[in-house]
Structure 1
């Protein structure tokens, strides 16, 4: 029974631990993802907030556009009562409400709604621009971070190469006993630093198979010793190799410091987009990766026409002008006013003006008024103006769509070029890594000199840096096209 309880306790602890680590991993994945920072930027960026508030302000125009005109209240008071038939008038109170022609208020609300929708499309455009800026900045930082990692890895390789050169420099010369060379070779092969170099140089196999040949004869030892730079060239030659490697290390260390400085500056720009402090920590992914792009040309152009906010703004503007033309037409019709007038009447002593049963009684008079839109040129010009604006927006839509299509084709061409460049540098990096592994083996065995090793090492680093930059350019082109498509996924 006790054993079963112990098992249950252990299983419970394991589940709790797994849950904790999975939550921690999920939190880490959330915090260092581009989507997380985009969400933070949309919530905090002042420019986006400004456009959002502007959209809310335009929404408040809708009830204003559909409201009636304010009623007119007029008061009249006489300093001396005026004798009228049926009494003496002390003053009048009148109230009048004007009503536009049927459908005018509806057309005004439709116009205001389209203007608000136009502002909403402008807000969406601001969001898309912000997403493009955040994504571009993110990929720039990832590129620099990848280049920093490549430089640090190459510094480790050069450190290991320096150790090999130092071992060659400190090894016995070829004038030593014949059986000394295999001993040195075996020592280099089995030393801990050599093992570290083998594991750190991309999986290079520098084991005993290439250095522990059964060559115990003097001739074999002499040829092996003669091929090693530090053995045949004396101490000066061996020391020059060490110094050359140290020069390469110094250059890479300078590159690393420069990259740290650039990353710090780019993080400050990134935090500015998120409306955060410049020193706020930004967690980058471990390695830059190509993002997916699955749109065909037909799908992309259709999506641009349907979803692009700039085209949406122009469409809403055209619909607003159409509604305004309808409202102008309705306003060219008469407006009807309905009101009431209340007359305060006192009694009169003049029997000629007094009427039996009416003397001193207040009077209520219903009123109706009609506006007369006689000046037709003004109303006709208003309707023609709105119609011309609507046609202008239609042509503007076509022109903007053509511009967006040309931008798409330009970005797509750059995207295809970037993809080819990524594939090229990926292939060159693989070949350079293989070449480097082989030439280091040849350097150890004396078949190649240090110049070739450093040259290939430089090529390898150059291809790695260019590959990271090509991936960043590719991803930037993808988000640029997605911005045209209003694809925020």
Structure 2
């Protein structure tokens, strides 16, 4: 298992090198390591790998030794005396190379299970990362809503002042309060969604559902994207698993050929002979010892020919499945890449719009100083600003989630 752990550690380093999160928040790579150590699904695959590997010792055996004991109820008479009982032993041995073929076949099955471990760990790393980024987006949206609620409270104070001097109506104040209520509702809903996602995250780490997950305060889209090499896709463990399956069928066919070979048996019969009474000769009562050699020949070998045909068809099936999965992974990689590019474009647009919304907000504040503020414009600008902020957070989340998918596919 040591080579599995070292491989996974290198994958973690490659996959999340650009996602090291600094500050007081919990480090994502630390949480991933905790998930890899504690996740029951990973433990299940590791136990399956150990179990299949142990089968090598099971198949490294020869058929059972046969022992037999017989007693002559009616003792047959021979020249040297009456036969009383018979003891026999027999051992069949497989053809040369048969046991090695079994070991190679079982080892090839263990290699397939090893790829299951690698795939499961990659998927877990991706799931933990994506859940973490969803928690970040949720917290960031709650923070934005809190800021906007506080901003509306400031506008409400301004509106109340304007009502006192006759420059605004009580309706404006009510509209601002209703907008605050809507935002508080959105925030409360987000809090419940955060708890649900936190439960999902903690289950991935196989720990208590009430454990608090502290996420990073802010994430920015990096100035440049890391390179995407589609050629690396052919080395993905999901595809390597098909190669290992193909090789296991090859080993199965080699084993089939060995099992269609004869088996050789060696044995020994011992027959106890009683002395003939009132007779005196050299072999009187001499026991019988008879070594034996036997050969088991599969004359009717239709079974083995059928197995060969099945193996050939199964290899063709695996080749088709591998190509099908490769096409699916290529589609997924291309989609993730395009969505990541779209997230970057959206982030830039939302940043620009947000700056313009803040400029409009500054103009409104200056208008208030001159006594000409329109609180309908205040609500419109505030609604636009909230929309841009939410979209900006969603773009950041999308960028990192898609990057996680890309990492799963090519790292």
8 Å CA contact 1:89–1:344 kept in 2: the answer is yes
Match in the other structure for 1:269? 200
The verdict on how the C-alpha distance between 1:378 and 1:27 changes in structure 2, with shifts beyond 3 A counting, is closer
| Aligned pair partner of 2:241 in 313, 316, 329 | 313
Superposition pairs for residues 152-167 of structure 1, below 5 Å?
Answer: 152-167=146-161
- Measured on the aligned residues, the alpha-carbon RMSD in Å equals 2.7
TM-score (norm 2): 0.85
Q: Does 1:119 align with 2:113?
A: yes
Q: Does 1:420 align with 2:345?
A: yes
Q: Deviations over 1:394-438 (max 9, x none)?
A: 232222212221222222222222221122222222332333233
State the 1:145 CA deviation.
Answer: 0.6
Q: Does 1:333 align with 2:285?
A: no
State the 1:69 CA deviation.
Answer: 1.8
Rounded to whole Å, the distance in 2 between the matches of 1:153 and 1:355 is: 119
Computing the radius of gyration from Cα coordinates, the structure with the larger value is: 1
The verdict on how the C-alpha distance between 1:321 and 1:249 changes in structure 2, with shifts beyond 3 A counting, is same
Q: Deviations over 1:332-389 (max 9, x none)?
A: 22111123333333433263xx751x43444443221111222243332322322232
Rounded to whole Å, the distance in 2 between the matches of 1:424 and 1:105 is: 67
State the 1:305 CA deviation.
Answer: 1.0
Superposition pairs for residues 150-189 of structure 1, below 5 Å?
Answer: 150-170=144-164
Match in the other structure for 2:27? 33
Rounded to whole Å, the distance in 2 between the matches of 1:158 and 1:388 is: 70
8 Å CA contact 2:105–2:248 kept in 1: the answer is yes
State the 1:120 CA deviation.
Answer: 2.2
Rounded to whole Å, the distance in 2 between the matches of 1:135 and 1:27 is: 12
Match in the other structure for 1:258? 189
8 Å CA contact 2:25–2:217 kept in 1: the answer is no
Rounded to whole Å, the distance in 2 between the matches of 1:83 and 1:295 is: 92
State the 1:53 CA deviation.
Answer: 2.1
8 Å CA contact 2:21–2:28 kept in 1: the answer is no
| Secondary structure of the corresponding residue to residue 60 of structure 1 | helix
State the 1:38 CA deviation.
Answer: 2.5
Provide structure 2 residue ranges, at least 5 long, that are not aligned to the other structure: 1-19
TM-score (norm 1): 0.73
The verdict on how the C-alpha distance between 1:378 and 1:257 changes in structure 2, with shifts beyond 3 A counting, is closer
Q: Does 1:391 align with 2:316?
A: yes
State the 1:161 CA deviation.
Answer: 2.7
State the 1:465 CA deviation.
Answer: 0.8
Paired residue total: 391
| Secondary structure of the corresponding residue to residue 98 of structure 1 | strand
Match in the other structure for 1:403? 328
Superposition pairs for residues 73-92 of structure 1, below 5 Å?
Answer: 73-92=67-86
State the 1:159 CA deviation.
Answer: 2.3
The verdict on how the C-alpha distance between 1:363 and 1:146 changes in structure 2, with shifts beyond 3 A counting, is same
8 Å CA contact 1:443–1:450 kept in 2: the answer is no
